[in-house]
Amino acid sequence: MPSSQILLSAGEASGDMYAAQLAKALKTRINCEIFGMGGEQMRAAGVDVVTDYSQVSVLGITEILGHLPQLIRAMRGLVNSARVRRPALAILTDFPGFHLRLARKLKPLSVRNVYYICPQFWAWRPWRVRIVKRRFALALCIFPFEEKFFADAGVPVKFIGHPLVGNVAPSQTRQGFFAAHGLNPAKPLVTILLGSRNSEIARHLPILAEACAKIQSELPVQFVLASAPGCAASLRQNWPGGIKVLIVEGQTYDALAHADASVVASGTATVEAALLDAPMIVVYRVTPLTALVAKPLVRTAHFAMVNLIAGRRVVPELIQNDFTPEKVAGQMLRLLRDPAAISAMRADLAEVRRKLGPPGAAERAADAITALLINPSGNAS
C-alpha cells in the first residue's frame, strides 16, 4: 500500500502534545507521511512541521488583531502545502478560530477533515456546531457529554476519552522533589502555573506575585512556579523581589503532584492537576475588550474545565474581575488552613477522573482515523 499523506495541525502547546501522541499511534497502524503545523513534540514524533504553532498561538480579540499577518501567512503555508502534497485527510486539533477556516479552505482541494479534540461549542457559541457538520467527516471528542451535543447536531462523532489519562504522573517522589530543590518538607508548598502564552504570563504574573506576598505575610509557605518550556529565564527576570519563588522548567507534574495546593491558569493544566489529585484554585484574565465581547457568548455556569466536567463547582474559580491578589490569597489560605476542605476537593477530583475515560485515547483516535482512510464512505465508529 503506498504511503498516505496526512495533514496534522495544532495551534498551541497542549495541541502539540495531543497531536504528537496521535502521530505516533498512526505510524504504528498505517504507512503514512505526516506534515502540518505544530511544535517540538510533533517534530519528535516524526511530523514534518512546515509551520510552527508559535506563529498563531494567540488568544483574545486584541491579540488576534495584532497577529493577523502571521495568522494569514500560516494559513497560506498550510493550504499551499496541502495543494502540493494532496493529503488524504487533514486532522485538525482544537484551536477552532484558526482550524475552522483552514477546514473551509481545504475542502475545495478534496481533503477530508477530521476534528481531533473538538471545540467547546457547547460552552460558547453553540450555533457554530453547524460549521463542524458542514466541513468535517468525523469529530473525535474527549469529554463524554460532548458526544451527544455533536450527535444531536448531525455531526459524525466518536467519544475517545481524554488523551492525558494514563500519561500524567510525577517523575519524582515528594521527598526526592523537595530534596532536589532544597525545599523544606515542614512548610506548605504552593505551586503556581501562570499559563504558557506570553500574553497570559503578562496578565497573570503581577496579580499572582502580589497574592504570594499576601499569603506569605500570613502563613510561612514556600512557592514553586512551574514554567512553560522556554519561559523560565524571562520569569526569573520579571518576578518581583521580596518574595522568594523557585522556578522550575520541565517539572510541572512534580510541582503539581507534591504541592499542598496550587494556583492554576484555566486550561489543559487544570485537567492535568485533577489527574495528579492536586487541590487547586483556577484563575484567568483576558483583556477587557475580549471579556466584553465574549461574555454574551458563554453558555455555561462554570469556566474551569474540572467544574464543567463535574457539572458543579468542585474547585474555586477566580475569573476576570474576580481574579485579584486579595481573592487568590483568601482562597489559598482557606485551603491551607482547612485539611477537611482539601479532602473534600480531592474526593471531587476523583469523580472528575472517572469521567475522563480509560487510558488509550490517542490509540482509539488512530483506530477511527485508520478506518476512515480504509473505508472513506463508511462510518469510522
- What is the residue whose three cell numbers read 444531536? 152
Topology match between the domains 4-165+358-374 and 174-355: yes
Predicted confidence (pLDDT) at residue 66 exceeds the cutoff of 60: no
The cell for 219 is 502563613
Hey, which residues does 247 pair with through a beta bridge? 225
pLDDT digits (tens, 9 = 90+) for 215-224: 999 999 999 9
pLDDT score at 298: 58
Helix (H) or strand (E) segment spanning residue 189: strand 189-193
Separation between Cα atoms, residue 167 and residue 156, nearest integer Å? 27
Separation between Cα atoms, residue 215 and residue 149, nearest integer Å? 42
Separation between Cα atoms, residue 365 and residue 117, nearest integer Å? 10
- Percent of the chain's residues with pLDDT above 70: 91
- Per CATH, the homologous superfamily of domain 4-165+358-374 is Glycogen Phosphorylase B; (3.40.50.2000)
pLDDT score at 68: 74
Separation between Cα atoms, residue 338 and residue 71, nearest integer Å? 47
Q: What is the pTM of this model?
A: 0.81
Separation between Cα atoms, residue 146 and residue 7, nearest integer Å? 24
pLDDT score at 61: 43
Instruction: Specify whether the CB–CB gap between 153 and 132 falls below 8 A.
Output: yes
Q: What is the separation of C-alpha 113 from the centre of its chain, rounded to a whole number of angstroms?
A: 21
User: Lowest mean pLDDT: which of 129-143, 233-247, 307-321?
Assistant: 233-247
Q: What is the separation of C-alpha 173 from the centre of its chain, rounded to a whole number of angstroms?
A: 25
Predicted confidence (pLDDT) at residue 257 exceeds the cutoff of 80: yes
- Name the more confident of 58 and 146: 146
Query: Would you kindly state where each structural domain of the chain is located, as residue ranges?
Result: 4-165+358-374, 174-355
Predicted confidence (pLDDT) at residue 376 exceeds the cutoff of 80: no
Instruction: Give 233's pLDDT tier (boundaries 50, 70, 90).
Output: confident
**Architecture of domain 174-355 in CATH?**
3-Layer(aba) Sandwich (3.40)
pLDDT digits (tens, 9 = 90+) for 271-285: 999 999 999 999 988
Q: Is the dihedral of CA 67, 70, 74, 75 positive or negative?
A: positive
Q: What is the DSSP letter of 230?
A: T
Instruction: Give 299's pLDDT tier (boundaries 50, 70, 90).
Output: low
Instruction: Give 62's pLDDT tier (boundaries 50, 70, 90).
Output: very low
pLDDT score at 380: 41
Burial 207-234 (b: 16+ CB within 10 A, else e): bbbbbbebbbeeeebbbbbbbbeebbee
